[in-house]
Structure 1
Amino acid sequence: MSEKLIVAVSAASDSRRAVDWAVARASARHQSIELLSVVGGAVGMIGEAALIQAATSATEQLLAAEADRIAAAGVTVTTRVEVGDPVAQLAVASEDAALLVIGSDYRGPGKGPARGAHGIRITAASKCPVVVVPDFDLDDERSGVVVGVDGSPVSEDAIAFAAAEADRLGEPLTAVIVWTPISAPRNALMVSPHGYRDGMEQNAREALALSLGGLRSRYPDLEIEEAVAEGFPSLIINELAEGARLTVVGSRGHGVVRRFLLGSISHEVLQRLASVTAVVR
């Protein structure tokens, strides 16, 4: 398995935050970093070649400056500029990476737009886990790793990733599973029977316990908290993530149609980032 982290770099402020996050992780895990920028927008217009060349040269200078800025961290850094569609180019690059790290222009509730489709498509198309770094300061009071659980095979991969990160960071792991009751129109006057609600919660607890089976023996020093909640998964996950150092969710796998799609929960978590968030497939 590759130990290289690929960081998508641009001139935006969120890009620098992504680079800094990747450098800290690479330094701790003795990994290398490739800073990758993609010059996009070409449509084959006459006179476009000169513009592409100028943009490529400017981008190479940007990457060189970033490489110089992080040189003191002692991490092996390479740089690369590609030309083409950013989503497609980053998807290809991710085939040879342990992680793809990208920035997000989301600055928190009330402070900026939700994450646009561009970054979500990159995350969905990637062949490796993707870490999305929001464009706001993560204060030192944050602690712990939060992972969303739903009992699926992809969820198992997310748990494994989250546990390894929590153990490496020396932080507690919160594994949360959310059950959502059947909804009905307001005028239906339907009240869920106690047996139904109790059964849904019990099923969720059992699924969570099954998903975490063996984790404590694998990480004996890891503090694991099990959380079962009623509501909508992405809202609950982001509420917990507001105080966490890292959030981990699973995504759909690849397919002819699903290549540029995420599962609805991971999609919604990325739209309103509450912390650095990893999407694992």
Structure 2
Amino acid sequence: MSAEPINGVVVGYDGSEGSVRALDWAADAARARDLPLTVLHAWDVYLGGPLAVPVIDVQAIAEETLNDGVEHVRKAAPEVRVRTALVRGQAAAMLIDAAETADLIVLGPRGLGGFAGLLLGSVGAQVAAHAACPVVIVRGGGPDEGARRVVVGVDGSPASRAALKTAFAAADARGLSVRAVVAWESVPVKELPPLADEAGLRDAAERRLAGLMIPLRELHPGVDVETEVVAGAPRDVLMEAAGDARLIVVGSRGLGGVRGLLLGSVSHALVHHAPCTVAVVHAPRER
């Protein structure tokens, strides 16, 4: 990577159709948040192929690919400040490195290096799991979709609280509403604490959710907010909620996650199968 830290929005571009949609989404995000946009293309020479290709030729192709992406952005969003990063190395590693100083990483669902049967390429999965900043996996038609809502999954974990902040910021920048959803799985009576009942616990969860909204409502007074506790497994509840969303935001790992896993089962399912664009947010690092 360059010695100069990369800030603002970073979009991974490889010339594929999915990465073009990611370019458009990233340009819209950079414009809405008044941030610079860096178009990043990673290239390398891999041994063991049937043909020996000179390094200089591979680099020339990489430069041409990057220039095509930059030209697309400058035509579609001329007001956005565009920067470039042509890096030699494994794409996921380069993007994870950029995420140390970037505000947002944006990727398509599967690039030219992906296998046809995979719903999410290995680069996207690795970056979503390891990046220090929020990672957006762009699906569908990009920023011009008709949906007017950002959905965010909440369970009170540090990652989900960080996801709430990301969801409100995204909604405020684009004039969208926020729907904060808690998935409530019924608790067997024998597992309830003494003197507790499920109705009381659910009521406490609703109050807790309302409390989490207070500082974000004050910070983003123009955002319409809906909160809801929905019965069902978190994966199923959030997958259904994503059906009419422009964007769904989830923490990387919730309260039910296994310690040590970088992506929980819910976030993993959404980045692979959600019907709309997905943002994965990690909890702030301890200092």
The answer, yes or no, to whether TM exceeds 0.5 is yes
Could you list the per-position Cα deviations for residues 214-243 of structure 1 after superposition, in whole angstroms to 9, with x for gaps in the alignment? Answer: 222233332110110111112211211111
1:70 to 68, 73, 77: 73
Letter in 2 for 1:62: T
CA distance in 1, matches of 2:211, 2:117: 39
Give unmatched runs, 5+ long, in structure 1: 184-189
Give 2:110's aligned amino acid.
D
Are the equivalent residues in 2 in contact too, given 1:138–1:275 (CA < 8 A)?
no
TM-aligned CA deviation for residue 80 of structure 1:
2.0
Matched length: 263
- The answer on whether the counterparts of 1:105 and 1:134 sit within 8 Å (CA) in structure 2 is no
TM alignment of 1:59-208, pairs within 5 A: 59-72=62-75, 73=77, 74-105=79-110, 113-136=118-141, 140-181=145-186, 196-208=197-209
Whole-angstrom distance in 1 between the partners of 2:264 and 2:207: 23
In the TM superposition, residue 169 of structure 1 has moved relative to its aligned partner by: 1.6
Residue in 1 aligned with 2:41? 37
Structure 2 CA distance for partners of 1:182 and 1:86, relative to 1, 3 Å: farther
Q: Hey, what does 2:220 align to over in structure 1?
A: 219
Instruction: Report the alpha carbon displacement of residue 15 of structure 1 after superposing the two structures with TM.
Output: 0.2
Work out the CA distance in 2 between the residues paired with 1:269 and 1:196: 31
Q: Please, which of 13, 16, 20 is the counterpart of residue 12 of structure 1?
A: 16
CA distance in 2, matches of 1:140, 1:88: 31
Alpha-carbon deviations, 1:118-140, whole Å to 9, x = none?
41111111111111101556764
Q: Which runs of 5+ in 2 are unaligned?
A: 283-287
Percent of aligned pairs sharing the same letter:
33
Give the TM-score normalised by the residue count of structure 1.
Answer: 0.82
Which residue type is aligned with residue 143 of structure 1? R
CA distance in 2, matches of 1:117, 1:105: 8
Check the 8 A contact 1:121/1:261 in 2, yes or no.
no
- In 2, the alpha carbon distance for the partners of 1:23 and 1:139 equals 12
2:24·2:143 contact (CA, 8 Å) conserved in 1? no
C-alpha separation in 2, matches of 1:96 and 1:237: 30
Aligned residue identity for 1:270: V
Distance in 1 separating the partners of 2:26 and 2:275: 18
> Where does residue 23 of structure 1 map in the other structure?
27
Q: Is the CA contact (8 Å cut-off) linking 1:179 and 1:200 kept in structure 2?
A: no
Are the aligned partners of 1:178 and 1:232 in contact in 2 as well (CA < 8 Å)?
yes
Query: Which residue type is aligned with residue 94 of structure 1?
Result: A
Q: Which amino acid in the other structure matches residue 68 of structure 2?
A: A
AA aligned to 2:18 is: D
